[in-house]
Structures are given as C-alpha cells and as structure tokens.
Chain A
C-alpha cells in the first residue's frame, strides 16, 4: 500500500449471527458493489475486498494479480472490468466523480487473518483488521473457483445528484405521528460531513416527537432511521450499534441502503414511502 486516501478498510460479508453477543454485522457498506467485485474476479461471496473511501489508494502488485473496482468509479481504476496487474505495476485510484465508496476486488481475496469469523473492519466496535496504512503489505489468497472471463459488467454509476430511497415505517413511527412521517418523507435531507461507516447523519427540518420518555434499548439493523433528541435522523450503515435507545421512525429498505452508502456529504436524500 503506497497511499491509502482518507480511509481504506478490509471488508467482507461481516459477522452475522453474533448480534446477541453485542457483536454487530459490519462488512461492506455497499454490499451489492462488493459482491459484484468478487463475482468479476471469480471469488466466493465471502472473500474480502478493500473498501476505498473517496479514492486516493495507490498500491503496487507484488505478484501478478487480477483486480477490479466497483461502486464509485475512480479515474485510473479498472472499473467493472477485471484487469491483470503485473508484478511491480502500480494502481492509482483518483477521486471519484460521483459516489463515495469504491470496492477493489482481487482474485483470491484479501487474506488477512479473520477475527470472529470475518475479515471486516468494524470501526465502531474496534474489531477486525486495522485500518489500512501506507506501507502495509496485504496477503492475497489462492483462487478457489475458475475466473469467470467477464470483460466488462455494465452497472449504473452512483448518482451525483439527489437520491430517492424507499422507506418503510419503523417500530416507533407512532412516537412521531402522521405529521412526523409527513416531515420525514416530505423533505430533501442533506447528508452531513459527520457521516461515516456507522451512519449517515441527515440535516433538515427536525422531526418532532409526540411523546417524551425514554425507550429501553432495542435491537436494530442497517437502514434504521434513528431519531436522537435533536430530531435529525441518523441512517444506520454497516457499523451501526447492535442496540440503540432512541426511537426508530422508519427503515430504508435493505436493497436501497447500498445506494445510500454511496452518498457524499452535501448530497440530498429523499425518502419515499414504500409498501411493507
């Protein structure tokens, strides 16, 4: 690793099945893009990839490697087109024109030692491999399956403008009433710069709670729109806490969370009510 950009981590499918121990799932923020990267280089679904935040990653191959990028398209990257990187050759990911997170898949997978069954870095829980640092040398695993021989996968780019995601009522929607639901779904929220792998912090007209009082902590999954006392929702992403004590007004559908994870600070998000 010759340069890492603002944040590069190792990610895979995460740690499902351990939430009852207080261990969250974590894993790639944009699961669909990470899965595509693995498919394009013939990896199994649980292979580890690099999640590169806003480009800036430079690396040198220490062996011949089949690599591909997906998600946010970085200038200089073999985007959605598997490419052989020769030993000694460098790969430089420029800043993406749209989207936030780029997935670098390597045939054989990033083979750092797993922690509790996964190679995902969970920044909230402090579990998994350390954040990638300049000078790191990462092991690459042995390929398991034959390479698929795909030249190019046509996939849509993350939007640079306003994103519309589908939202369903959450367990505590009644704490906000019809007016709260209308406020949630009737405005364009702005993604703030405090957003990270834990969640997207949204700015807009605050949501008003109809009822006071505390909520005993309860379990949640990614996509949850949790409303702290400020009234400004947080959309939980991969490294969200396993349980939380603020009411969840709604949930972005699982399929739409991936697109939300590509939003940059300053971008607008509209939440369109969907059918349960």
Chain B
C-alpha cells in the first residue's frame, strides 16, 4: 500500500488492485478512523476525507497503516435482482468485441452474480464486477451525449446501470425498468459498495 498526499484534508491510499481496494474499504468503512468523514473506494485507490478540525492527516495515516484489510468480507451488502431487456444499441458490437454471439453475451452477463465494487460518475452509479468474468470491453470511441436512464452497459471489466440520462461512453447492452437511484425511496441508491447484483433476462 502507498499513501499519497491529497492536500490538507484528505489522503489517497493506492493499492495493487481492486481486490485489495475492496478488502481495505471493507475494513475502513466498518470501523472508520476518528475524524474521517468519507471513505471513497475506486479502481486502485481508497480516498479518506477528513475533518481537519477533529484529526490530523498523520493520525489518519497511522490508523490506515494499522488497519487489517478484510478480504473475506468483500460482499457485505444486499442482493438485488435487476430484470433486463437485452436490446441495447451496442449489444451486437460488444458481443463481437468479446468473440461471442449476443445470446452468449447475455448468458454470461446473467450467468453469475456481480458485485458493486465502488460508485462514482453520478449519484447511484455502481461499478459492478463479476469475479472471474473475463470482461474486457473498450469504451466507445465516440461517447454518446445522452444515454437513456436504466441503460445497462459494459466498459473495461465493469458493468453498470445509468441512474439517469447523462452523457456516456459505455457500450449499451440493454435496459432495466428498475430505478437504481430514486430520491423517493429510502435508501435512494440501490447499488452501494458490496451490493450483490443478479441480472435476469426479460424474455424477448
């Protein structure tokens, strides 16, 4: 683990990979060091935002160094089932990029559980990984200016669901009618780090 400076109020912890990120995040979110306001996991890093009135970066750095990662507790959240219409504009292209037929892609996407590794990009947007999933899909060369809400998409090793209409460069493989972010619901964000997701194909 490498501790990188992030100004006077935050600390960035860089790790070797996503599994290490999730193990450290599991430990830090279960028992945040004193004075830490936010813990933000990402692909290779965990950011700790502190309240400088309450703690020092040195104290937080010490706490991180003595934190024991919890690789066993990767999936700590609920399980969510998302029905998907696999009729996305990029389904055929994404399948071809993976050397699959569209049906095989759907089978693989629905065949095993996904886990929300981290969130970002927009409120409620989860980066989902499928352990051993062999997904590696390039982003679109020309991002769309408007991706419809509920779009189920692929990029890199991740799958995701667009919470609302927004620009986006991921490959669209389908859509779900479930609102992954809904302010009228408690909690508003359906997908949070650790949530398990099972995609289910709606019969075409």
Give me the interface of A with B, judged by CB distance under 8 Å: 16-23, 25, 115-116, 125-127, 168-173, 216-221, 223-224, 241-243, 248, 250-255, 276
**Residue among B6, B41, B44 with most chain A CB within 10 A:** B6
Contact of B8 among A168, A242, A248 (CB under 8 A): A168
Known: A20-B29, A221-B9. A216 touches B43 (CB 8 A): yes
Residues in A whose Cβ lies below 8 Å from that of B37:
16-17
Please determine whether A20 and B39 come into contact, CB atoms closer than 8 angstroms.
Answer: yes
Residue positions of B touching A, CB distance < 8 A = 4-10, 12, 14, 25, 29, 37-47, 49, 52, 118-126, 164, 183, 188-189, 192-193
Query: Chain A residues near B43 (CB, 8 Å)?
Result: 216-218
In the docked arrangement, what's the CA distance between A251 and B4, Å? 12
Contacts of A168 in B (CB 8 A): 5, 7-8
- Known: A115-B183, A116-B188, A218-B44. Is A125-B122 also a contact (CB below 8 A)? yes
B192: nearest chain-A partner, CB-CB: A21
The reply to whether A251 and B29 form a contact with Cβ atoms under 8 Å apart is: no
User: Chain A residues near B41 (CB, 8 Å)?
Assistant: 20, 219
CB distance from B122 to the nearest CB of A (A): 6
Q: Are B44 and A23 in contact (CB under 8 A)?
A: no
- Smallest Cβ-Cβ distance to A124: which chain B residue: B122
A125–B166 Cα distance when bound, in Å, is: 10
List the B side residues contacting A22 at CB < 8 Å: 119-126, 189
With a cutoff of 8 Å between Cβ atoms, the chain B residues found around residue A255 in the complex are 8
Q: A169–B45 contact, CB under 8 A?
A: no
11 inter-chain pairs at a CB distance below 8 angstroms, sorted by A residue, are A20-B192, A22-B123, A23-B123, A115-B183, A168-B5, A216-B45, A218-B42, A219-B45, A223-B7, A224-B6, A276-B5
Select the residue from B5, B164, B189 with max chain A CB neighbours within 10 A. B5
B189: nearest residue on chain A (CB-CB)? A21
Q: Which of B39, B44, B52, B193 contacts A254 (CB 8 A)?
A: B52
Residue of B nearest to A171 (CB): B4
Q: Which single member of B5, B38, B42 contacts A169 (CB below 8 Å)?
A: B5
A245 CA / B4 CA spacing, docked (Å): 16
Q: Tell me which residues across on chain B come within 8 A of A126, comparing CB atoms.
A: 164
Give me 19 other A-B pairs in contact (C-beta within 8 A), A216-B43, A220-B10, A243-B121 excluded. A16-B38, A17-B37, A18-B38, A19-B38, A20-B193, A22-B119, A22-B123, A22-B124, A22-B125, A22-B126, A172-B4, A218-B44, A219-B12, A219-B47, A220-B47, A241-B121, A242-B119, A253-B7, A255-B8
- Measured CB to CB, the closest approach of chain B to A270, in angstroms, equals 17
Interchain CA distance A22-B193 in the complex, whole Å: 10
Between A223, A242, A252, A276, the greatest number of chain B beta carbons within 10 A of the residue's beta carbon is seen for: A242
A129 to B196, CA, bound (A): 32
Q: How far is the CA of A61 from the CA of B104 in the complex (A)?
A: 65
Are B123 and A243 interface neighbours, CB within 8 A?
no
Q: Judging by beta carbons under 8 Å apart, are A218 and B5 in contact?
A: no
Nearest first, the 6 closest Cβ-Cβ pairs linking A and B are A251-B7, A219-B47, A219-B40, A216-B43, A171-B4, A22-B119
**How far does the Cβ of B34 sit from chain A's closest Cβ, in whole Å?**
15
Asked if B119 and A253 make an inter-chain contact with CB atoms under 8 angstroms apart, the answer reads no
Instruction: From the candidates B8, B121, B164, name the one contacting A251 in the complex (CB within 8 A).
Output: B8
Closest chain B residue to A126, Cβ basis: B164
Q: In the complex, are the beta carbons of A254 and B7 less than 8 A apart? A: yes
**A251 & B6 in contact (Cβ 8 Å cutoff):** yes
Q: How close is B50's CB to chain A, nearest CB, in angstroms?
A: 9
Contact of B42 among A21, A127, A243 (CB under 8 A): A243
